[in-house]
Amino acid sequence: MVVSLMVPLDEDAWRKILDRVGETGADGVELNFGCPHGMAERGMGSAVGQVPEYVGQITQWVKKHSDLPCIVKLTPNITDIRQPALAAKQGGADAVSMINTINSITSVNLDAMCPEPMIDGLGTHGGYCGPAVKPIAMNMVAEVARWEKTAGIPISAIGGISTWRDAAEFMALGAGNAQVCTAAMTYGFRIVKEMCSGMSQWMDEKGYTKTSDFIGMATPRVTDWQHLNLDYVTKAEIDQDLCISCGRCFAACEDTSHQAIAMSEDRTFTVKDDECVACNLCVNVCPVEGCITMRRLEPGETDLRTGMTIPAEDDKRTWLEHPNNPMGDPLTCISRGQ
């Protein structure tokens, strides 16, 4: 049993609540520095989590007045989540959990002209959660897991986790475990058993005997954009046997992307390699799984869009060396003859 706490920024108040928690026999405490509404207006929740100095100070108080393991729950409503994570680590936190909910207004009543839900004719922001926040949460988990100043601190993942695969993805990015709230609210606690069963089956298929076998395996493969290999070129391909001629790929590419898909009079859709930039938009909008795939150009092939020849496997250029970078090294471009 881990007790979640939100207490004002006062050491004595924290000491008193920790004494009471200690009497319950609880196994640990989670400091909620993430709640974005109600508590923040009273100097708690995200009002603390948005100030790394407060995060570090309160964490020190908790470790001073309690022997219980201390998890610091972080807010996503901040520019750089690594800073409060670092403050928690420096304050002595045993782990961090992330993310809490995101400030949001989900709808507006156009008759009353008021945000919903309405309370006596007024509305306010709330905390957004569920599957839609999962990509945001995964990025923040990865940022903390891979930053050298915070790497190594245990992470409990939160944010849109609804299936065993969701949990496994967070764990692959460096989280030691996963928390579930919205899915439990929607489906009941039985969803957790289903997730455990699914993950167990997947681990058996992969040959993993314990979760530590795959925790953090994807972390080293998370990098910054400028370090990607820009000589890795792919082109979209449409399987005519699978295509149902719905035209979604054409509409998306023609109206919002690179006009790289042609449509014939009989609604046959083909990719124009001299225009395709491998944005993957067509793959994402296609309703038929496997119909549109991305083919990698092999070394020696020519990219019809740029006229450049794909180099050998061991000759890669990132943005730092690429000729499209106005600040790149011109000697690198000249030596490649491109």
What are the residue numbers of the active site? 35
Q: Taking the mean position of all CA atoms in its chain, how far away is CA 30?
A: 21
Strand partners, 177: 156
Rounded distance, CA 207 to CA 34, Å?
37
SS3 34: coil
Q: What is the DSSP letter of 74?
A: P
Q: What CA–CA distances, in Å, run from 279 to 257, 275, 308?
A: 8, 11, 18
Classify burial at 96, counting beta carbons within 10 Å of its beta carbon; exposed 0-12, middle 13-18, buried 19 or more. buried
Classify burial at 92, counting beta carbons within 10 Å of its beta carbon; exposed 0-12, middle 13-18, buried 19 or more. middle
Rounded distance, CA 268 to CA 266, Å?
6
Tokens representing residue 192 in the block: 């957790």
Classify burial at 204, counting beta carbons within 10 Å of its beta carbon; exposed 0-12, middle 13-18, buried 19 or more. exposed
Question: Residue 236: in which H helix or E strand, if any?
Answer: strand 234-238
Angle in degrees, CA 166, 171, 174, rounded to 5: 140
DSSP-derived secondary structure for 187-234: H-THHHHHHHHHHHHHHHHHT-SSGGGTTTTTGGG---GGGS-TT--E
